[in-house]
Structure 1
Amino acid sequence: MNVELITKEDLKQFKSELILELKQIFKPETAHTKQWLRSAEVRKLLKISAGTLQNLRINGTLPFRKIGSIMYYAYNDILRVMEEGGDR
C-alpha cells in the first residue's frame, strides 16, 4: 500500500489552480459582441458623463445613429475614439 501525504502547501496550490480555472470558465466575455451600443452603455464603457457624450456627438468626434428617440453608437467608432484619445 502506497501512502501519499498532502501538505498545506499542496492544498494552497490546488486552491489557486482551481480558482484560476473557475475564473476562466465564468469570466465575462472580453471581446465585445454587440455591434451597436446605446448611450448608457457607451457612457459606462468610456466612463464618461452624459454631458461629455453629448459633446462628443456635437463636435463630431463620435458618430451616432438616431432611431426614434434612441441614439446608437457603432462599437468600432468607440474603439477608434479610444485609440485616438478623442482627438480628431
Structure 2
Amino acid sequence: MNVELITWEDLKRFKNEMLSEIKSLLKPGQGQSKQWLKSYEVRKLLNISPGTLQNLRVNGTLRYTKIGGMLYYKMEDIEKLLEGDSK
C-alpha cells in the first residue's frame, strides 16, 4: 500500500496553478471575449453550485445586474473575485 502525503505547500501550489488556469480562460482574446456572463456560465467557469453563486450575490462578494428575469455578471468582477482569493 502506497501512502502519499500532501503538504500545505502542495495545496498552495495546486491553488495557484488552478487560479492561473482560470485567469487564462478569463483573458480577452483567448476565446473568452464576452463582457457579461449568465449565471450558468459563471457556475460552469468557477465550478460552483447554484447555491454557492447565490451566496456570493447575497453577501455582496459578486455584483450582478438583473435584466428581466436573467442575472448577468461582469467578467471584470469575476476576475477581481479570483484575484482577491489568491492573496
TM-score range for the pair, normalised by the shorter chain length? 0.5 to 0.7
Q: Secondary structure at the match of 1:51?
A: helix
| Whole-angstrom distance in 1 between the partners of 2:56 and 2:86 | 8
Do structure 1's residue 55 and structure 2's residue 55 form an aligned pair?
yes
Residue matched to 1:8: none
Q: Is the 8 A contact 1:64 1:73 kept in 2?
A: yes
| Whole-angstrom distance in 1 between the partners of 2:34 and 2:68 | 20
TM-score of the superposed pair, with normalisation by structure 1: 0.62
**Closer, same or farther: CA 65–86 of 1 in aligned 2, 3 Å:** farther
How far off its partner does 1:31 sit? Answer: 4.8
Q: Which runs of 5+ in 1 are unaligned?
A: 1-28
Residue matched to 2:64: 64
| Whole-angstrom distance in 1 between the partners of 2:53 and 2:85 | 14
Identity of aligned residues (%): 54
| Whole-angstrom distance in 2 between the partners of 1:61 and 1:55 | 8
Q: Is the 8 A contact 1:61 1:86 kept in 2?
A: no
TM-score of the superposed pair, with normalisation by structure 2: 0.63
Aligned-residue RMSD, C-alpha: 1.9
| Whole-angstrom distance in 2 between the partners of 1:56 and 1:86 | 17
Bigger Cα Rg: 1
| Whole-angstrom distance in 1 between the partners of 2:31 and 2:47 | 18
How far off its partner does 1:86 sit? Answer: 8.7
Equivalenced residue count is 59
Q: Secondary structure at the match of 2:34?
A: coil
Q: Is the 8 A contact 1:62 1:78 kept in 2?
A: yes
